[in-house]
Amino acid sequence: GIVWSHLHMSSTIESVGRKGKKGGAIIVLSLCAQLVDRANAWATRLGCGQEVRFVNTNATISLATMLSSYPGPVRLVCIQFPDPHFKRRNHKRRIFQPNLVRDVASVLEPGGCVFLQSDVENVSVAMRNVFEHQGAAFFEVAPEHHQPEATFFSEPGGEQDSDGSSAEGEGANQAESQGAQQHAAGVQHAQQGEGHGEQGSTHCSDGEDEEQQGGGRSGKNSEGDWENMESQWAEAGWLKDNPVGVPTEREFYVEQQRLPVYRVLLIKK
């Protein structure tokens, strides 16, 4: 079984369905009910409704409970382009919370993978760091990160201090603003009706659904500011390419703009 969170559908459904037909099932979790209904209809129309199932739920809350009755092994969990919730006071709404790390560790089989990606660097940093600080006993960076020419590294000077200000001052503020603009551009592109139903990183109601559904069991990130924690995994860099082989629509759009996507692949020990 493969679990995807925030996978952006339409033209990607057939590719996902083909992957499912090679063995196992693919479950896609999304907060956007309208997208889930439409995607399930598309999957049925494309003949892969038995291999791919879209579920309207909050993965932060429901993942472990939902998969506790799944009869087969879970081999891959993907968190792709989650809502960035740029404002610090809204970070508690982010999908990647400590309890999600523990839930993923509990359902993933040994040797299974966790794939994280976003076009907002701070979001990928936070995802990587929460998995490292909460799940280092269960996960390690995949060997794909150590292949020649497989990775790239963040430019120095982009790190933020704990109060949200940049060590380089204006530079990081500009970078975060650019990330927000890129994020908004992806949403606008998806909503223009060009045959794509991209959920993007938000993108059902700008995170309101996530807050209403609980954002996390405690509604708090009591562990601290994940973006600014020291990381040994950072030495592995960001993967240049998607190791799963099925790009999301947002991923396709971002790369068409020649903008970076920050990817991490982890393996369950």
pLDDT in tens, 133-152: 999 999 999 999 999 999 99
* Residue 79 contacts residue 101 (beta carbons within 8 Å): no
The average pLDDT across 197-218 equals: 41
State how far Cα 213 lies from the chain centre: 18
The average pLDDT across 32-61 equals: 89
pLDDT recorded at residue 135: 97
Total structural domains in the chain? 1
For residue 9, pLDDT over 50 is answered with: no
Phi, psi at 160, each rounded to 5°: -105, 145
| Alpha carbon distance 176, 87 (integer Å) | 11
Angle at alpha carbon of residue 120, lines to 56 and 139, rounded to 5°: 70
> Domain span at residue 139?
2-268
For residue 174, pLDDT over 50 is answered with: no
How big is the chain, counted in residues? Answer: 269
pLDDT recorded at residue 204: 58
Q: Where are any strands of DSSP class E within the chain?
A: 2-5, 26-30, 52-56, 74-80, 108-118, 139-141, 151-152, 238-239, 262-268
For residue 115, pLDDT over 50 is answered with: yes
Point out the residues that are catalytic: 83
The average pLDDT across 164-177 equals: 38
| Alpha carbon distance 89, 102 (integer Å) | 23
18, two tokens: 């083909």
CATH at 72: 3.40.50.150
Neighbours of 5 (CB within 10 A): 25
pLDDT recorded at residue 76: 94
* Chain segment 52-108, per-residue pLDDT in tens: 889 999 888 888 888 888 888 999 999 999 888 777 776 776 778 899 999 999 999
